[in-house]
Amino acid sequence: MTTLNLDDFSDLIERPDGGVRRDAEDRRERLAVPPGALGRLDDLAEWLAAAQGQVPVKPIERPRVVLFAADHGIAAQGVSARAAGSAHELVRSVLEGTSPVSILAGRLGAGVRVVDAGLDCDPGLLPEDVTRHRVRRGSGRIDVEDALTAQEAEAALRLGIRIADEEADSGTDLVVLGDLSVGGTTVAAVLVAALCGTDASVVTGRGGVPIDDLAWMRKCAAVRDSLRRARPVLGDQMALLAAVGGADVAAITGFLLQCAVRRTPVILDGVVSAACGLVAQRAAFRAPDWWLAGQTSGEPGQAKALDRMALNPVLDHGVTVGEGTGALLALPLVQAAAALAAELPERAAVEQPTD
């Protein structure tokens, strides 16, 4: 296997078409509805037009929720409200259609795909099409050991790239990205703190299912100790993902980079996808132009990461459940923005001629 060099993505990724965006802005000025009257919807439509490379923008016809699943060894330190090694229960809920994200996806016409990158369970507990991608079972306890070997980190990155290619090739025109993990917000906090140069307490939140004060202190200590292991490898994104990431985190990073290569727009969910975005931004500074921050999750690490990437969340509804749910709630707004930009008549078509 040829060694993967993330720096190569910098040459492969271009920004969305600026000329098309200007054309979209010009067309907006000519619409019957006054400029500014649609608020953020105008900006969403122009972002999407630039990503699609055409004006007027096309409707979103094949949205897809993609969820990467894994267990993180750091969860054994009592940093999560969920039991260590229980992420497969989250996956089962999604597959059975009883989770918030699967219920909403069904209503919004979005397909859902779950990718087992590193669950800590018997593969027989889940369908083969979910578990066949697994890189390893669980990940190392990042405060005292590497999450992955170098080979596993590369395999996980390649997994994300492959999934992005499969989605692009199948006609997916917008991805809603999320994770199904236990311990994932702790790993994300480490990555954000390392890449933004902050202390553990600044980026450590209470997780999707809020933890109590004692668990939060344990989480801060875990982030602090993991940061000591992260800082020496900050200059090497692959080594960073191996040291303090995880199979899902590395896969999401590869997925985000390849989506940008394939010109597939992505809506990010919470702190995990935001942290992966930071790693991807280090490799290719243009990549965040292809992403939209779906919502504010309340995690301080997410806010720090989105600020670094200059991404302004679409929604702030206090949704902390994770699993891509908050990002999915932004999908109707993007769809509405595309529909209005494409179908509203221009002023010349509605104004009556004067004598």
Closest C-alpha among 27, 19, 99, 39 to residue 67: 99
Q: Is the peptide bond before 56 cis (omega within 30 degrees of 0)?
A: yes
d(CA 245, CA 247): 7
Closest C-alpha among 38, 36, 17, 16 to residue 343: 38
Q: Is 323 annotated in the active site? A: yes
Which of 46, 154, 167, 323 is labelled catalytic?
323
The answer to whether the beta carbons of residues 170 and 263 sit under 8 Å apart is no
* 3-class secondary structure, 346: strand
Tell me the sheet residues that pair with 292.
267
Distances (CA, A) of 166 to 37, 302, 330: 38, 28, 23
d(CA 142, CA 74): 6
Q: Which residue has the tokens 């990724």?
A: 13
User: How many CB atoms are located within 10 Å of the residue 66 CB?
Assistant: 25
> Annotated active-site positions, please?
323
